Amino acid sequence: MSSSPVPAAGANSQAANKHLTKQLKTRAVQFLDAPRNGALLEEIVASFKDSCARMASIHPSLLALELVFTELLRRNEMRIEVQPLKPVAESSELAHKQWLQNQYKEVFSAIVEGGCGHERPTESALALATAMKLIAAECQSPLELTAGFPLAKLKLLLQALLPSDRPNANLINRFQEYTVHQDVVYFCWKVMPSLAPKEFAPNSQFVQNFLTLFSAVCFSKEFLEETPCFLCIELQQLDYAYIRKHINKTWSCIMNWTHDEVSHRQLLVLLLEKVLIHLDKPVLLTDFLMDSLDVGGAISLLALQGIFVLIQQHNLTYPNIYEKLYSMFEPEIFHAKFKARLFYLADIFLSSSHLPEGLVAAFVKRLARLALIAPPQDIVIILRFIGNLIMRHPALKRLIFHPNGGEVSQDPFIMDERDPSKSNALDSSLWEVATLQSHVLPSVATAARFISNPFPSVEWDLASVLEINENDIFDKEISKKSKEFALNLERPASMFLYCGGEKSSQYWKLF
């Protein structure tokens, strides 16, 4: 059967793409009707490789390849039946099946390497979807009767998700759509340890991609309790002990790598949110978290949360934890991404009523001083936090109503002192909060008036204010309705003639 030449797969116009799709689909149907006509399949494969090389649209040729090989798998036309201890008889049919298997292997490699590496996100996502469909089809109709899940192909796909020369978070996030299936998660963890270099990673980009992939296939314990959902193979029971073993094995490799600031922060987030509950010996993280605590910024904050978990759940002792927490309250914290997390952790650390009053007073004064320069949405958080601390430690009301009264020429509180016990906070007062009662924003001024009113019987809920931003404050203020607005003391006679006394007139002489 003669065939007309296939137009270039990288045609720019939509009409050309539609024409090409129709042409290649025709070739695919013709090949499925006559599988011995290898030239038809080679034509489609050549078109796909050409499109990948030119970074053109692979959609037309990819759909044709997907149609061909999913149908061949469904028909078992590539299956070679092998009997133990019995050689396979040579025949033209066996040779054809071997040829088809070689074509299938070559095409799958091209899809995951060239297709998933395409510079257009839509094209690479389509290649990922095709690769997963082929894996699922091969599970249903294996190439050999004794074959199970195609681990080699899954490993090839996961390797394609870990380039060293570019970020690949978008494609890995698309792969996460498949990790809702327990069988996919199980077989991914069979492969993951073999993808992690033991001693060092190629570069920081590979590390970031690997951590993103690790997060995509990692899971919480609730995942094990959900109704099972399978893509390829229905597992009787997800072997958590086996997966946990491979999580620990892979994580031990990751901890040996060199991490820059980005991957260090990414590593801590992953550890806290997904990995820590699966580790066999979390206490071994102590040195790593201690070192991270000295880095500063968001990394220190995340390390603090990890240390808190070890203190709370694994009886870790850290003698200077309050000094570290105290040192984190700097002006820069108001611009940090994990700011709400710091207030949440500080609230937990300072929840005990048995803490020394001088220590808690130092936190109260430091927060009050920072409130003078904080953004409005953070001032409300600080004021609520200070109020809660005073309610837990009633003796701290001396910062509001000192029993001896009197005035001082300067505040005895030492803001630059790193040791909270030496800051002289108990000898000071909350004049900062009193100053905020004159804040231009009514919401801030109202929140600051708690020191002038009777304290409530229960603490304020910090969770209700931790996520407030400037847009919320603006929307709240703009929604208030006022009947009158004081714009001027005296009605002006005209636009350019001044009014009022001498002081105001000198500023209007330009007009």
pLDDT digits over 460-480, tens only? 888 877 777 777 777 777 777
**Could you tell me the two tokens for 265?**
């922060």
Nearest to 280 by CA among 239, 251, 317, 302: 251
**Could you tell me the two tokens for 216?**
């995509």
**Contacting residues for 419 by C-beta, under 8 A, at least 6 apart:** 323
The answer to whether residue 457 scores a pLDDT higher than 80 is yes
The answer to whether residue 10 scores a pLDDT higher than 60 is no
Q: Which residue has the higher pLDDT, 46 or 403?
A: 46
The answer to whether residue 404 scores a pLDDT higher than 70 is no
Task: Over range 359-367, report the average pLDDT.
Answer: 94
pLDDT of the residue at 110: 95
Q: Token pair 């109709």 is at which residue?
A: 141
Res. 125 pLDDT band, cuts 50 70 90: very high
The answer to whether residue 455 scores a pLDDT higher than 80 is yes
The answer to whether residue 7 scores a pLDDT higher than 60 is no
pLDDT of the residue at 491: 61
Res. 5 pLDDT band, cuts 50 70 90: very low
Of 177-186, 303-312, 486-495, least confident by mean pLDDT is 486-495
Helix, strand, or coil here: 495?
coil
How remote is the C-alpha of 166 from its chain's centroid? 18
Residue 393 has, within 13 A of its CA and on its CB side, a CA count of 25
Q: Distance between CA 82 and CA 95 in Å, rounded? A: 14
The answer to whether residue 444 scores a pLDDT higher than 50 is yes
**Contacting residues for 97 by C-beta, under 8 A, at least 6 apart:** 77, 78, 79, 80
Nearest to 183 by CA among 147, 160, 156, 150: 150
CA angle, residues 115, 118, 123, in degrees to nearest 5? 75
Q: Which residue has the higher pLDDT, 491 or 123?
A: 123
pLDDT of the residue at 88: 63
Q: Distance between CA 234 and CA 67 in Å, rounded? A: 25
Q: Distance between CA 251 and CA 137 in Å, rounded? A: 32
The answer to whether residue 495 scores a pLDDT higher than 70 is no
Q: Distance between CA 387 and CA 456 in Å, rounded? A: 9
CA angle, residues 341, 344, 348, in degrees to nearest 5? 135
CA angle, residues 326, 327, 329, in degrees to nearest 5? 75
User: pTM for this one?
Assistant: 0.79
Nearest to 321 by CA among 302, 349, 284: 349
Which H or E element spans position 40?
helix 38-53
Largest CA distance in the chain: 114
Indicate the residue type of 251.
Answer: W
Q: Distance between CA 188 and CA 184 in Å, rounded? A: 6
Task: Over range 178-191, report the average pLDDT.
Answer: 94
Task: Over range 91-113, report the average pLDDT.
Answer: 92
Q: Distance between CA 299 and CA 320 in Å, rounded? A: 18
pLDDT of the residue at 471: 77
pLDDT digits over 287-306, tens only? 899 889 888 888 888 998 89
Q: 237: burial class by Cβ within 10 Å (0-12, 13-18, 19+)? A: exposed
pLDDT digits over 237-272, tens only? 888 999 999 999 999 999 989 999 999 999 999 999
pLDDT of the residue at 362: 94
Q: Distance between CA 505 and CA 341 in Å, rounded? A: 52
Res. 196 pLDDT band, cuts 50 70 90: very high
The answer to whether residue 501 scores a pLDDT higher than 80 is no
pLDDT digits over 128-162, tens only? 999 999 999 999 888 887 667 899 999 999 999 99
pLDDT of the residue at 338: 77
Q: Distance between CA 137 and CA 76 in Å, rounded? A: 11
Give, as one character, the DSSP assignment of residue 113. Answer: I
Q: Supply the mean pLDDT for the chain.
A: 86
DSSP string, 234-295: --SS--HHHHHHHHHHHHHHHTTS---HHHHHHHHHHIIIIIGGG-S-GGGGHHHHHHHHTT
pLDDT of the residue at 9: 42
Res. 2 pLDDT band, cuts 50 70 90: very low
pLDDT of the residue at 510: 46
pLDDT digits over 71-83, tens only? 999 998 988 876 6
Task: Over range 276-283, report the average pLDDT.
Answer: 92
Express as a percent the part of the chain with pLDDT over 70. Answer: 88
Res. 1 pLDDT band, cuts 50 70 90: very low
The answer to whether residue 206 scores a pLDDT higher than 90 is yes
pLDDT of the residue at 387: 92
The answer to whether residue 424 scores a pLDDT higher than 50 is yes
